[in-house]
Structure 1
Amino acid sequence: MKDRRKFIQLTAAMSMGAILPLQFCSPKKESDSSSQEAAIGPLEGSLGAFGLQLWSVKESMSEDPIETIKKVASFGYSQIEGFNGGKGIFWGMKNTEFKSIMDDLGLDFFASHTNTFENLEKQAAEAGEIGMKYLINPYVGPQKSMDDFKRLADDFNKHGEICKQNGVRFAYHNHGYTFEELEGQIPQEYLMENTDPNLVDFELDLYWVYTAGHDPIKWLEKYPNRFPIGHVKDKDGDVEISDPKGSTILGTGVLDFPAILGKGKDNGMNYFVVEQERFEGTSPMEAAEKNANYMKNLSL
């Protein structure tokens, strides 16, 4: 995870049919379902559009970002959340050039993870120019004291103000450490309650909340409309709960996504972003395709 410190909206093709046990429904032709959804909005009980955090396919992105993104689009993702892979969030291209490629593929490049402590004014201006909605700080690391988190809350408010001036939103993506008690407090609570909702949003990584021993649903209920983005990442039940390297194919782990994402929709979560960081017996790209299929067939 240390690498991460450096650092769509066509309608998704949704499946229809009778609801089967668990969360799946029998598929129809993609063209039929997507045209219906475009005409009447997301199908009742369906998730709707969903995205991918490109970190999930970071090796392919480093080799050929454009071909990787084209393949991702073919899987059914309609939203893209980027990351800073060393060449900036536009992968060495101008922001307008990268935006044009995304548009041609029918993708909404709505957000990116990036280091918001460096060159934020420039990053926010370029993001705002092409209509991105969020710049997201993905990692600050565990802190030694609550005073450190208090300073971070102040920093986040400042980052939010800079982003707002450029027409984008600032958000912070959690890991497990903000949910671990420190000096009698839960740092995530402090950050939620001491940042300006007009300036600061949060991306709720469901995996990290769970591995820290918390219930994502309770956080969604306690802080409605503060988590407009969710990271949809499953936890392998055969891996120790606190093990940071335990993500797996969606639907094969322990997280109850129909319940969690349904609660998310009820409480202001608008973006559902797939992420996977551990791959057992499959490649990252194969996993991305399987995860897209799960999301397309998810019934809330």
Structure 2
Amino acid sequence: MNRRNFIGRTAVLSATALLPLSSFSLMRQPKYKMGYQLFSVRTDMAKDPLATFKALKEMGYEDFEFYGFDADKGLIYGYTPSELKTILDDLQLSITSGHYSFSPYLGKADEALKHYVDQCILAAKAMDSKYITWPYIAPEQRTLDNFKLLSRKLNHIGEQVKEAGLGFAYHNHGYEFEDYGGQTGFNIILNETDASLVKLQMDMYWVMHSSKLTPKELIDKQPGRYVMWHIKDMDKISRDYSELGNGSIDYRSILPDPKKSGLEYYYLEQGGNFKTSPMQSAADSAEYFKKHLRQYL
């Protein structure tokens, strides 16, 4: 090595030594696209979906989870799934999961549910989405017997969706961790659904809000099953939603190992309690995530 090369290499090494450890992680190419749950900006999506997508892209979001499939009209945000896919392709964006309206079918005949799932499958395939997600059950449905019924329905849907070449997942809130006759709804779902058919979308806010176990501890019980995460913060006083970094959840300490989780996609989210506006909250959370959490994902 000649003197000039030696001096140049030494200068690079010296400069590198001054970088904080997190900078090495930040220099890596992220493994996952930064995602957002579009329920968070539902008013903006209702007014102008295209402008909203463009603004979210400017913030750094590249992947999305939608909600609001109108099965009767076959529309999402006023577009057919194929039209929406064209818009996303033009913007180099993607929708990898959707929250579909399964709750009304919990007490209906299996044939009605099967027909609805077929419609969901067609929509997901048209958008090139990998996952169909059951997001919610209504308050009047939250009983021990209904969680057992739900588990059977989840298995049936999971089998139907898997046969179509897609993935199916269940999204938790807080009520699954309440006591129902000595059991939690979440444990019923864990124990009475087939892990090969029904994956899980962990909402970390609700786990920290209502579960006795941490996200890491839940994943330890069934590693590889939590293929999607929702990441949102908790207001320090009201325990309502908050922008990332403004709340009480220290994600730098509680984020699980993505590989152990089986993680494929994550979505930042804030369903309400916006500091100024939904879009400003999306921007604030994006900036915090890129600065403090991107290195982990």
**TM-score higher than 0.5:** yes
Corresponding residue pairs, total: 262
Larger Rg: 2
Q: Counterpart of 1:97 in structure 2: which amino acid?
A: E
- Return 5+ residue gaps in structure 2 as ranges: 1-17, 106-112
For residue 88 of structure 1, report the CA deviation from its aligned partner. 5.7
**Could you tell me whether the CA contact under 8 Å between 1:79 and 1:110 is conserved in 2?**
yes
Matches within 5 A, 1:138-177: 138-142=135-139, 143-177=141-175
Q: Counterpart of 1:270 in structure 2: which amino acid?
A: E
For residue 261 of structure 1, report the CA deviation from its aligned partner. 2.6
Percent identical residues: 34
SS of residue matched to 2:255: helix
Give a deviation string over 1:232-276, Cα, whole Å, max 9, x none.
01111112x4xxxx1101012111212333434432122121110
After TM superposition, the score normalised by the length of structure 1 is: 0.80
Give a deviation string over 1:62-97, Cα, whole Å, max 9, x none.
101111111111111111100016576622222221
In structure 1, what is the Cα distance between the partners aligned to 2:160 and 2:69? 23
**Could you tell me whether the CA contact under 8 Å between 2:224 and 2:260 is conserved in 1?**
no
In structure 1, what is the Cα distance between the partners aligned to 2:45 and 2:179? 36
Q: Does 1:63 align with 2:47?
A: yes
- Return 5+ residue gaps in structure 1 as ranges: 1-16
Give a deviation string over 1:8-36, Cα, whole Å, max 9, x none.
xxxxxxxxx9448xxx76999xxxx6xx7
**Could you tell me whether the CA contact under 8 Å between 1:141 and 1:177 is conserved in 2?**
no
In structure 2, what is the Cα distance between the partners aligned to 1:262 and 1:60? 32
Match of 1:269 in 2: 263
In structure 2, what is the Cα distance between the partners aligned to 1:25 and 1:57? 31
In structure 2, what is the Cα distance between the partners aligned to 1:278 and 1:193? 32
If asked which structure has higher relative contact order (CA below 8 Å, sep 6+), I would say 1
Q: Does 1:91 align with 2:90?
A: no
After TM superposition, the score normalised by the length of structure 2 is: 0.80
RMSD: 2.4
Q: Does 1:114 align with 2:100?
A: yes
Whose helix fraction is larger, Structure 1's or Structure 2's? Answer: 2
- Name segments (4+ residues, structure 1) moved above 4 Å: 24-28, 85-89
The one of 251, 256, 260 aligned to 1:257: 251
SS of residue matched to 1:202: strand
Q: Does 1:82 align with 2:76?
A: no
Inter-CA distance 156–249: structure 2 relative to 1 (3 Å threshold):
same
Inter-CA distance 291–178: structure 2 relative to 1 (3 Å threshold):
same
The one of 101, 119, 124 aligned to 2:121: 124
In structure 1, what is the Cα distance between the partners aligned to 2:277 and 2:196? 40
